[in-house]
Amino acid sequence: MSKRSWQDITGVTHSTPSPLSLFVDSSVNPPPPTMAPRPPLSENRSMSILNKALAGGYAVPAMCCYNIESIIATVKAAEAARSPAMVLLFPWAIQYAGDALVKAAAEAAHSASVPVSLHLDHCQTPELVRRAADIPDAFDSIMCDMSHYEKEENLKLTAELVQYCHERGIAAEAEPGRIEGGEDGVAETADLEGLLTTPEEAEEFVATGIDMLAPAFGNVHGEYGPRGIQLEYDRLDAINKKVGDRVRLVLHGADPFDEEIFRKCMAGGVTKVNINKGMNNHYAWTQEKMRGKPLTSVIEKGTEAMQVAIERYMHWLGSAGKA
């Protein structure tokens, strides 16, 4: 580029490109590189993982991650057990750290030596769904959770958001009915009454174009309380018979479940199992046990503890060795 003299507002003469030229000369400010398009929905990473699980008769652990340690633990567990997996973030991750944690999670998941996808769970506003869907090369799937709205508004918003996600190659999950309870990192819904899903409601939500469906059949976010675990397996079976050939079924509220309960849920068509405290409590316990130890040691031991817990779920769900 040839240089020419120009004067700033003080009258000083400069022999450098003029400020205007910085905007018009592509050799100084080249246009941003064209972003490689996402794979089409037919090649979506989350759906590929779950479709293979359905065909193989197993389920995939979807780990609710709040920090880089839990993300790394999930990827390491998947590679060690040769299992597919899903890293789940909540909208809190974006509100807390902007795109930083999302991009770190995407890099860790998508560079794994086994299939690992990145999913945004319980995204509860249309604005945030769109915000997340527009982060380049990040989420493979997003839960468009409008379950805090009345059913008709839930259906309307879900259909709009599913289309928005699909246009960007992102698979979409929704929650017909309302799963009782609340979860850390999710806008408070614990005071809302739980509404069990019917097969007819499941059909209505499938009509919105969703790829994953999270039914409410007695499962609870957070603590199950004094009544204990009371799942309606017949309801799950009926939902699976109604729509299980068109969407993958997702289990929320699975933290206190044992292998026997998981097997019953998988028999009802579940292929994605969300795990939160069953992993993250191990990190918290390690921090307590190692109080006063070097921080790097605490981080490493906490990551190892979570990895061990995740691998156990992989064996319970039958995904170990399937990658």
Instruction: Find how far residue 301's CA is from the centre of its chain.
Output: 25
Q: What residue type is 112 in one-letter code?
A: A
Concerning whether 121 is annotated as a catalytic residue, the answer is: yes
CA distances from 80 to 84, 96, 113, 284, 311 (A): 11, 30, 10, 23, 8
Contacts of 264 (CB under 8 A, 6+ apart): 231, 233
Q: What residue type is 1 in one-letter code?
A: M
DSSP 6: E
> Which one, of 274, 283, 56, 76, lies nearest residue 186 by Cα?
274
- Partners of 117 in beta bridges: 86
Other residues' Cβ atoms within 10 Å of the Cβ of residue 273? 25
The per-residue DSSP string of 203-224 comes to HHHHTTT-SEE---SS-EES--
The catalytic residue among 8, 121, 134, 258 is 121
Cβ–Cβ < 8 Å for 112, 79: yes
CA distances from 29 to 17, 18, 22, 24, 74 (A): 12, 13, 6, 8, 40
Instruction: Find how far residue 296's CA is from the centre of its chain.
Output: 27
Other residues' Cβ atoms within 10 Å of the Cβ of residue 247? 25
Phi, psi of 274 (to 5 degrees): -80, 130
Residues with catalytic function:
121
